[in-house]
Amino acid sequence: MDGGVDEAGVVTLVAWSPGLAAVAAVVALGPGARPPSRLAILTNSATRRRWRRSVFVQAGINGRWSGLVEWVGRSISGVVGMDPDAGRARRLGQTLLVGLAAGALHPLLVVPVAAVAWAGPALTERTRRRRRTAQVVAETPDLVELFRLAVGAGLTVHLAVEAVAPRAHGVTGEALARVPARVAVGERLADSLAAVADCGDGVRPLVAALVASERYGVALGPSLERVAFEARLSRRRSAEEAARRLPVLLLFPLVLCILPAFVLLTVVPLLVGSLPRLTG
């Protein structure tokens, strides 16, 4: 039995040794470490220290898994001629490393595990963006009302931003809280408000109204009134869409949990009770 286990382990190691050697070659010859730079490292101690420090950062020796994954992904992309961004490089490196780990357990696990590793971050990022967008849509009407109160009290755009920033909450509140500090160091208000517009499409009409009033002197009261109406309408539509999706989402626990329990408690006892009569 022990000999069979050892033989299976040896066969698995031999089967995966070409793949591991290929990954090692790709990492060694990737864009992060070329042979000419290694020759310079041998003759220059300062360059050697910088190279070692960069390798530690890129390969994640400092304990950061994301650095290692991105480094492997960029190395493979450089060999095959691709130039992905940081997110795609991390996805590629994660897929490769997780696929190799799954292949060490069983070859049939490589494809499904690699598929999950490749599609999982994309689905997570899309869910995060969707929740962030919904949160911005829900926060914008309250933020617009705060600006309407500030402008109605006679404040200018600069003073209104300073008055509303400490009282705003959520994603838009965090972005707006950084605007007074950036204006204090000499940045223009319109440029500082661009960070608030990056929160999502729901808050961009408000930012556009503030920028137009600050640059061109457009009356801010009517603009905020129109923006408030549109923001409340968008929040209402978002709530209605969420309410329409709720019955569809409830089908999954109904089919997977409630329906099997109903069958086990009602149909199965009847079948078991009638089984002797059917067999007799």
| More reliable by pLDDT, 10 or 118 | 118
So what's the pLDDT on residue 27? 42
Q: What residue ranges define each of the domains in the chain, with the CATH number in brackets?
A: 2-105 (no CATH), 130-238 (1.20.81)
Closest CA to 190 of 178, 172, 208, 173: 208
Per-residue pLDDT tens digits for 175-229: 999 999 999 999 999 899 988 998 988 899 999 999 999 888 888 889 999 999 9
Q: How many residues does the chain have?
A: 280
| More reliable by pLDDT, 145 or 15 | 145
Per-residue pLDDT tens digits for 57-72: 444 443 455 666 666 6
Instruction: Give the pTM.
Output: 0.60
- Residue 81 DSSP label: T
Closest CA to 140 of 189, 192, 209: 209
* 55 pLDDT above the threshold of 90: no
Mean pLDDT score of the chain:
76
Q: What is the CA radius of gyration of the chain?
A: 30
Closest CA to 140 of 179, 97, 170: 170
So what's the pLDDT on residue 39? 39
Helix ranges restricted to H, 60-109: 65-80, 86-105
Burial class of residue 139 (count of CB atoms within 10 Å of its CB; 0-12, 13-18, 19+):
buried
* Encoded tokens for 177: 């809280």
How many other C-beta atoms are found inside a 10 Å radius of the C-beta of residue 207? 21
| More reliable by pLDDT, 262 or 277 | 262
Q: How confident is the model at residue 87 (pLDDT cuts 50, 70, 90)?
A: low
* 23 pLDDT above the threshold of 70: no
* 36 pLDDT above the threshold of 50: no
Q: In whole angstroms, what is the distance from residue 27 CA to residue 20 CA?
A: 11
So what's the pLDDT on residue 38? 41
Per-residue pLDDT tens digits for 252-266: 888 888 888 888 888
